[in-house]
Amino acid sequence: MVGNLIGGMIAAACATGAALAQDTWHPSKYGAADTLGAVNNLSPEGVKRAAALVRTGKVYALGIPTGPDAPVYGERKYNAEALWTPPAGQPPLGENKVTAFDEKVTTSMGIGTQMDGLAHLGIDRRHYNGLTADDLAKENFKQLDIAAIPPIVTRGVLIDMRKHFGKPLAAGHAFTKGDIQAALKARKLTVGKGDVVLLHTGWMADKLASDKKTFQESEPGLGLEAAIWLADQGVVAIGADTIALEAIPFENPNRPFVVHQTLLAKKGVYILENINVGPLAADGVTEFLFVLGQPRFQGTVQVVINPVAIR
């Protein structure tokens, strides 16, 4: 019995290894030396087409405030403290009595509304374009530097999954390719090269204020099949009003964060989390000008952002 069990485990491991060997996800389709991923799909022509979507000039801040109470995954922390100039108890500077504050912020960059860079999640210690974790860490992520990502100005598309299903969505509800395609078809929408796709699940409105623990630990979200399909349309980034974009509990409990691995490592598609799309959904907005000039912090794998939508 034990021999049969061990033999079966060895066979399964060999089969898994063979499957992984056949899953050739690097070099990237953007070139073996590429470090930017799907932002290669941005273009001046795309910016002009997106700008033509502006009809009312209404601006939506898609970021939520970042602070000690911002939603976080796991044990990430935020702390800000005041730095006095001059130090407390000392006289002001000069005849004009200058006083000032600076601040010291100690935080993970993956807190609140954030963008996951291509160095964030990998597969067996390999990341986008096959870069190894050792090489990335040795150079402080210079090869996949968030500071090198150009501003993302393009067409944004909101897919309202809450409206599509017509009811509050449950944790672990994974959106399939068919779900995404049906929701797009119902609104006479398409997605294509250079777009940023945002999903409205209603999870932020339903849970963040009333049940933060549930919001941070579970969610409806993108399934693997749908993630692959969206990436293959040439989108630059995919985001949602949830903490991790993909469905949690995971579609397959033995494959945690496989959507992150697929989008970031395999496809070079950026992930946007805790995006406040509720106001867009409330106004019935489906297409808009999307603008993101992410902070250019070097040595980070993710970064706090405040994207803007203009309709």
| Any domain includes 217 | yes
Pick from 309, 267, 272, 265: nearest CA to 291: 309
Longest dimension (CA), the chain: 89
| Any domain includes 90 | no
Count Cα neighbours of 299 within 13 Å in the Cβ-side half-sphere: 4
| Any domain includes 20 | no
Alpha carbons 232 and 58: distance in angstroms, whole number: 31
Domain boundaries, position 160: 26-74+109-310
Alpha carbons 94 and 254: distance in angstroms, whole number: 65
| Any domain includes 192 | yes
Q: Which amino acid appears at position 297 of this protein?
A: F
| Any domain includes 296 | yes
Alpha carbons 148 and 43: distance in angstroms, whole number: 16
pLDDT in tens, the chain (311 residues): 333 433 443 344 444 443 443 468 999 999 999 999 999 999 999 999 999 999 999 999 999 999 999 999 888 999 999 999 999 889 999 999 999 999 999 999 999 999 999 999 999 999 999 999 999 999 999 999 999 999 999 999 999 999 999 999 999 999 999 999 999 999 999 999 999 999 999 999 999 999 999 999 999 999 999 999 999 999 999 999 999 999 999 999 999 999 999 999 999 999 999 999 999 999 999 999 999 999 999 999 999 999 999 99
Domain count, the chain: 1
| Any domain includes 173 | yes
pLDDT in tens, 188-237: 999 999 999 999 999 999 999 999 999 999 999 999 999 999 999 999 99
| Any domain includes 306 | yes
Pick from 121, 300, 119, 110: nearest CA to 216: 110
Of all helices (H) and strands (E), which one includes residue 50? Answer: helix 44-51
CB 65 within 8 A of CB 78: no
Assign residue 68 the CATH number of its domain: 3.50.30.50
Alpha carbons 90 and 84: distance in angstroms, whole number: 10
Q: What percent of the chain has pLDDT over 90?
A: 91
Alpha carbons 172 and 221: distance in angstroms, whole number: 7
| Any domain includes 79 | no
